Amino acid sequence: MIIIIVGFGYLVKPNDKSKVLANFSIDMSIRDIAPTLNVTGKALARELKLPIDVSKKKSLKALGVAPDELQHVTAHLLSHRDNLLKYYVYVALVLGGLVFLVRLGRPDLSDVKHRREWYPRTFYIVSLMLSVIVAGFLLGKSPNPMESVVKVFKSMVGLYPDPIAKTIALLFFIILAVIGNKIICGWACPFGALQELIYSAPILRKIKQRKLSFLLANTIRAGLLAVMLLFLFGIIGGHKGTVIYHNLNPFNLFNLDFETVSILLTVIFVLLGAFIVYRPFCQLICPFGFISWIIERFSIIRVRIDKDKCTKCGTCIKACPLEAAEGLVYIKSLPADCFSCARCLNVCPVDAIQYSSVFKKGITLIRPPVVKGKSIL
């Protein structure tokens, strides 16, 4: 099934971008070029370091744009065009993860005494490697979950001509995150997968036992998104169109395109930090990480704890690289992100943890506290 999904995607993939790139020259105007790149004239002017209200009818030569600069900018903008095949790869990786977590990872009728044999890490590691290699380096940086959020907001200020298409792309990732709890981030996102692989290296284990405070990390992540919106809409700076995530975009790694020093430094610091901190970019920076954390409340298939069995021994809390398991066990109103990594699924001595649908019967859930007759979550 997974091979069929990817194979179908390959058959319907769009034409090569290089044919488009060869047709541009500085004798053309912004109005001539922008539609082909699927951006607005404002966006192209901004990338060319021209005022966004510059004449869109004049030739680029008349506006002082050099051929090399045009080639660089058009190549950069083309790198942001979605490779449709990646959507099928994302679906295949998510589907594979769900099948493993719900069915294959735990043999039917297996005794809890053999729980250490459940959910072998090899399958997860192979899936992560496929994400990095195929959804990352082979297919390039776009589309990706982080970019889907940014493009929606950019379309609102006129930097993209098709806000509906950008919204649909974001909804695609949100739907995958709802079907399986943040599974698009945990199993399919290539940069998330790369961080997971690095963190999984069997070194510095004592340091890894110290977890980053979720309250601190989420405050930074939410604050960064808020600041980005203030700059993008011109509330700060007075000029619309400034996207601070452009200077922090680690997905450029998959195109080997480090257009600014800040991008290169972001990649270096995040990947080094991933040896001791679990998914630092996902926790601290990624806007889709923040949005998917919010919609975890509505995920259909997720980690579930049976309150009638749970003894609060803390084994799952110790196994979890974040504060997610702690939030579930101790009924925190705002638990940390759960990336469906399966680390907690084979450690419970009383078999109180399952990865299953919220509609599955037979589990008495630990629920969040109730305020004024309504669940907080």
Q: Which pLDDT does position 377 carry in this prediction?
A: 35
Q: Which residues of the chain have pLDDT under 70?
A: 1-3, 6, 8-22, 362-377
Dig out the tokens for 257 from the structure: 């395109």
Residues forming a β-bridge with 180:
301
Hey, what domains does the chain have and what are their CATH numbers?
18-79 (no CATH), 300-375 (3.30.70)
Q: Which pLDDT does position 371 carry in this prediction?
A: 41
Cα Rg for the chain, rounded, in angstroms? 23
Q: Which pLDDT does position 239 carry in this prediction?
A: 82
Q: What is the largest CA-CA distance in the chain?
A: 76
Dihedral pair phi/psi, residue 327, rounded to 5° = -65, -35
Q: Which pLDDT does position 39 carry in this prediction?
A: 85
Q: Which pLDDT does position 18 carry in this prediction?
A: 45
Residues in the chain: 377
- Residue 75 CB partners (closer than 8 Å, separation 6+): 21
What pTM was computed for the model?
0.86
CA torsion, ordered 332, 333, 336, 341, to nearest 10 deg: 80
Q: Which pLDDT does position 271 carry in this prediction?
A: 97
Q: Which pLDDT does position 363 carry in this prediction?
A: 59
* Closest of 84, 82, 19, 78 to residue 43, by C-alpha: 78
Q: Which pLDDT does position 109 carry in this prediction?
A: 80
- Residue 268 CB partners (closer than 8 Å, separation 6+): none
